[in-house]
């Protein structure tokens, strides 16, 4: 599959190379499910074609096909080659995995008799080891993360204790960006002939999709992916930790790795990525808080999200615990809003296909939560716009963590925040017509009155959450007349968003 471009794919048995034919299918309908960002389509198609070329060069027989659907391409291959056995790796996404499980019967209906073997997915560590859940007790991410580190021996000392004495250095990784350290340029990979052909095809075939292929210079091969990993380890990992939650108008990437799209299509594997980071610490090149924060993102957050997705599907996408039904504002598709944080982040996203995790959580998802936007609409928008977006990672992050529409299955609290948080962690508020210090009125930041309206609307429920209790206690300082003003302004604002859409 197009997101399984693994150098060590479990079906690629070198001892049986002469017996095996590798089938890779570009399924047209898969690329039209959403209005995907053009850079994402270009990345996947170019990576698939380079992967096929690399396999051929290594001596593998490769049947690379273009078809309307994956099954149509597979049926055509099997009809021509009459193979006795079909070996696949389990898909990362739930719908594709369900389709795999029904594939043998589906092929039989087309009078194709073939034995289908589905191998375990090796792109995720959680597919190889899953921390045990205690009956009746929620397995939170922190303890999932600790169990993963212990099992895979990451940042663990010979005595079994965590390196440095603590499991988590998050408290040291919350600095706003002050501009004193200039982030280095990202590695750029000039498009070769294969990629140039893909870029031309994408622009012609998907004129109404999000964004543009202009300036495409992403890594599309295993060698380029490894070079990107090495570049991050050498030039940005040291400062990743302190500034991992910072946001900047002038530095869109800061010290983030941009390795997620490469991990998500298989050009990199999670264990090799975190082991490279650990080596950088062990050899004295990178401080522990930065390495631990990065390792936590990969084997804590990423693996936990994947584990939750397959644990809770297929119902996850329809969850809506806050009963939020407002429509997604039109400015999510064009960035045309007076809120500078949203305008900056969305404009950057539409241009590049990327924003880092804190902008996704505390700007985009936070607004969706506070404004009561229909969770599935927000989810579909993320799937359309991000070049690293796949159902397994977007749905539990947006429906679960970002909007807390799952009732707290993924996270332990809703990540609701006022303009004060954005002001503290970014420079967006300096260029905005709204004030993050005013709670209501014409100059008030919409995040402020939406935040307090959210607390007022769900006060009873939020009081019961130990992590939200202190925030709810702040309501006692708001007099009844101001409560009414806040609620009225929030209602009017949301109504105007919907009418504009």
Residue 305 burial class via C-beta count within 10 angstroms: exposed 0-12, middle 13-18, buried 19 and up: buried
Question: Looking at the predicted structure, is the pLDDT value of residue 45 above 60?
Answer: yes
Q: Which of the four CATH numbers 3.30.10.20, 3.40.50.620, 3.40.640.10, 3.50.50.60 does domain 14-121 have?
A: 3.40.50.620
CA distances, 96 to each of 1, 158, 270, 472 (Å): 10, 41, 22, 42
Banded model confidence at residue 137, pLDDT cuts 50, 70, 90: confident
**Shortest CA distance to 299 belongs to which of 281, 261, 272?**
272
Q: Kindly provide the residue ranges of all beta strands, DSSP E only, lying in 182-327, ordered along the sequence.
A: none
pLDDT at 500: 64
> Looking at the domain covering 330-500, what would its CATH class be?
mainly alpha
For 305-364, the pLDDT digits (tens) are: 999 999 999 999 999 999 999 999 999 999 999 999 999 999 999 999 999 999 999 999
Secondary structure element (H or E) that encloses residue 194, with its range: helix 193-205
**Fold (topology level) of 126-184+236-312:** 1.25.40
Q: Cis omega (within 30 of 0) on the bond before 314?
A: yes
CA distance 74 to 72: 5
CATH 1.25.40.80 in the chain, residues? 126-184+236-312
CA distance 43 to 34: 16
Provide the 3-class DSSP secondary structure of residue 434.
coil
Q: Number of C-alpha atoms within 13 angstroms, CB side, residue 301?
A: 17
Q: Which long-range contacts (CB under 8 A, 24 or more apart) does 314-320 make?
A: 314/94, 316/395, 316/396, 316/399, 316/400, 316/406, 317/376, 317/379, 317/395, 317/399, 318/376, 319/375, 319/399, 319/400, 319/405, 319/406, 319/407, 320/374, 320/375, 320/376, 320/405
- The distance from CA 435 to its chain's CA centroid, rounded to whole angstroms, is 30
Secondary structure element (H or E) that encloses residue 65, with its range: strand 61-67
The strand pair at 85-89 and 21-27 is best described as unpaired
Banded model confidence at residue 464, pLDDT cuts 50, 70, 90: confident
Residue with tokens 């001596």: 59
CA distance 437 to 430: 12
Question: Looking at the predicted structure, is the pLDDT value of residue 499 above 80?
Answer: no
pLDDT at 452: 96
Determine contact, residues 79/258, Cβ cutoff 8 Å: no
The strand pair at 21-27 and 61-67 is best described as parallel
Provide the 3-class DSSP secondary structure of residue 356.
coil
Mean of the pLDDT values across residues 392-408?
Answer: 96
CATH 3.40.50.620 in the chain, residues? 14-121
- Residues of the chain with pLDDT > 90, as a percent, come to 91
pLDDT at 481: 93
Residue 166 burial class via C-beta count within 10 angstroms: exposed 0-12, middle 13-18, buried 19 and up: middle
CA distances, 430 to each of 179, 383, 403, 433 (Å): 15, 30, 27, 9
pLDDT at 405: 96
Mean of the pLDDT values across residues 200-210?
Answer: 93
pLDDT at 501: 53
What does pLDDT average to over the chain? 95
pLDDT at 109: 92
Banded model confidence at residue 477, pLDDT cuts 50, 70, 90: confident
CA distance 358 to 355: 8
């Amino acid at each position: 599959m197009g997101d399984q471009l693994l150098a060590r794919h479990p079906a690629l048995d070198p001892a049986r190379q002469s017996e095996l034919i590798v089938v890779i299918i570009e399924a047209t309908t898969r690329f039209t499910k959403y209005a995907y960002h053009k850079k994402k389509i270009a990345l996947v198609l170019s990576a698939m074609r380079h992967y096929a070329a690399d396999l051929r060069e290594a001596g593998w027989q490769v049947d690379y096909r273009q078809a309307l659907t994956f099954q149509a391409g597979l049926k055509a291959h099997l009809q021509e080659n009459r193979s006795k056995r079909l070996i696949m790796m389990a898909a990362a996404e739930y719908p594709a995995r369900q389709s795999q499980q029904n594939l043998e019967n589906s092929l039989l209906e087309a009078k194709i008799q073939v034995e289908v073997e589905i191998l375990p997915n090796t792109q995720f560590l959680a597919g190889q080891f899953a921390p045990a859940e205690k009956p009746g007790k929620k397995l939170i991410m922190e303890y999932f993360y600790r169990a993963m580190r212990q099992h895979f021996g990451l940042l663990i000392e010979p005595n079994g204790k965590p390196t440095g004495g603590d499991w988590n250095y998050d408290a040291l990784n919350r600095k706003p960006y002050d501009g004193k350290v200039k982030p280095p340029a990202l590695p750029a990979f000039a498009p070769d002939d294969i990629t140039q052909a893909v870029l031309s095809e994408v622009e012609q075939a998907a004129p109404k999709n999000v964004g543009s292929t202009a300036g495409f210079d992403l890594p599309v091969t295993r060698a380029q992916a490894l070079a990107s990993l090495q570049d991050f380890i050498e030039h940005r990992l040291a400062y990743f930790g302190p500034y991992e939650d910072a946001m900047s108008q002038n530095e869109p990437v800061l010290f983030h790795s941009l390795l997620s799209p490469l991990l998500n299509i298989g050009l990199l594997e999670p264990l090799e990525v975190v082991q490279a980071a650990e080596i950088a610490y062990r050899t004295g090149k990178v401080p522990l808080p930065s390495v631990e924060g990065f390792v936590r993102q990969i084997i804590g957050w990423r693996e936990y999200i994947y584990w939750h997705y397959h644990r809770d599907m297929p119902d996850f996408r329809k969850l809506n615990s806050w009963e939020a039904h407002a429509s997604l504002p039109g400015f999510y598709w064009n960035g045309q809003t007076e809120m500078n944080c949203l305008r900056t982040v969305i404009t950057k996203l539409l241009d590049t296909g990327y924003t880092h995790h804190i902008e996704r959580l505390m700007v985009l998802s936070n607004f969706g939560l506070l404004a009561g936007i229909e969770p599935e609409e927000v989810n579909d928008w993320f799937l359309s716009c991000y070049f690293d977006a796949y159902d397994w990672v977007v749905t539990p992050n947006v429906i679960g963590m970002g909007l807390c529409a799952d009732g707290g299955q993924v996270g332990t609290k809703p990540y609701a925040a006022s303009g004060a948080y954005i002001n503290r962690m970014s420079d967006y508020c300096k260029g905005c017509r709204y004030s993050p210090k005013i709670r209501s009125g014409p100059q008030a930041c919409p995040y402020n009155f939406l935040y307090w309206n959210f607390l007022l609307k769900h006060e009873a429920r939020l009081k019961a959450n130990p992590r939200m209790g202190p925030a709810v206690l702040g309501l006692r300082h708001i007099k009844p007349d101001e409560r009414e003003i806040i609620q009225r302004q929030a209602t009017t604002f949301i109504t105007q968003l919907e009418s504009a859409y």
